[in-house]
């Protein structure tokens, strides 16, 4: 009897894992048809002086704007990873370890703020730096949890200033 219960529990766990994997893949296929390809990192960026010192931390994910549970799963965008965030005059680079870099062009950035959660990751009050940006016809939120959260106000100020400069140009 105990073996049957154990086998039933293992089967239930495997069924749940299969359902989650199937849902992830289905979401990726749907989003691949709805979203344009993500932008490549511009060439020659390494010669440009960053606006702020690079910040290490964790790339939490990208979601549909203002819907912190609708994770974007196209390619490897849905995967959390250690990352280094660097703000350039041209945009924001999230250089992710073990995943492709994510480039957010300065002209597409709509907002920068702190939040307590994104993409299934809930942290303490204002523990995430969230960038809202336009990707094609879609607004996306990208979350980054920096190792040093005291600098978030500097990041928000620099991004907001950069956004204002782009709008006035």
Q: pLDDT tens digits for 36-59?
A: 888 899 988 888 999 999 999 999
pLDDT, position 47? 87
CATH number of residue 149's parent domain: 2.30.29.30
62 lies in a domain? yes
- 5 falls within a domain: no
Confidence class of residue 97 from pLDDT cuts 50, 70 and 90?
very high
Q: Which of 68, 55, 74, 52 is nearest to 123 (CA)?
A: 68
SS3 70: coil
The rounded percent of the chain whose pLDDT value lies above 70 is 95
Q: What is the pLDDT of residue 41?
A: 92
Phi-psi region of 106 (alpha: psi -120 to 50; beta: other; left: phi over 0): alpha
Cα–Cα distance for residue pair 68/45, rounded to 1 Å: 30
> Taking 80 as the threshold, does the pLDDT of residue 167 lie above it?
no
Task: Output the pTM of the full model.
Answer: 0.82
Q: Identify whether 84 is part of a domain.
A: yes
Domain coverage including residue 74: 45-168
> Does residue 34 form part of some domain?
no
- Residue 26 within a domain: no
Q: 166 forms bridges with which residues in the sheet?
A: none
109-162: per-residue pLDDT in tens?
A: 999 999 888 877 788 788 899 999 999 888 999 999 999 888 899 999 999 887
What is the domain count for the chain? Answer: 1
Is the CB of residue 105 less than 8 Å from the CB of residue 123?
no
**What is the average pLDDT value for the chain, to the nearest integer?**
87
Task: Give domain status of residue 99, yes or no.
Answer: yes
What is the reported pLDDT for 71?
Answer: 86
Q: How far is CA 134 from CA 64, 137, 161, in A?
A: 10, 7, 18
Which range (103-107, 121-125, 162-166) has the least confidence? Answer: 162-166
- Kindly state whether residue 127 falls inside one of the protein's structural domains: yes
Q: Name the band, by pLDDT with cuts 50, 70 and 90, for residue 166.
A: low
């Amino acid at each position: 009897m105990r073996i049957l219960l154990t086998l039933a529990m293992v089967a239930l766990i495997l069924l749940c894992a299969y359902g989650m994997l199937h849902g992830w893949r289905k979401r990726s296929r749907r989003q691949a048809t709805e979203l344009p390809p993500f932008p490549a990192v511009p060439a020659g960026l390494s010669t440009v002086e960053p606006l702020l010192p690079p910040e290490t931390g964790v790339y939490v994910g990208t979601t549909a704007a203002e819907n912190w549970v609708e994770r974007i799963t196209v390619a490897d965008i849905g995967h959390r990873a250690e990352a280094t965030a660097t703000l350039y005059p041209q945009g924001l680079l999230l250089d992710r370890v073990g995943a492709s870099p994510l480039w957010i062009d300065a002209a597409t950035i709509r907002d920068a703020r702190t939040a307590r959660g994104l993409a299934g990751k809930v942290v303490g009050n204002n523990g995430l730096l969230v960038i809202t940006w336009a990707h094609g016809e879609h607004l996306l939120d990208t979350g980054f949890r920096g190792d040093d959260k005291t600098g978030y106000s500097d990041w928000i100020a620099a991004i907001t200033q950069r956004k204002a400069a782009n709008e006035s140009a």
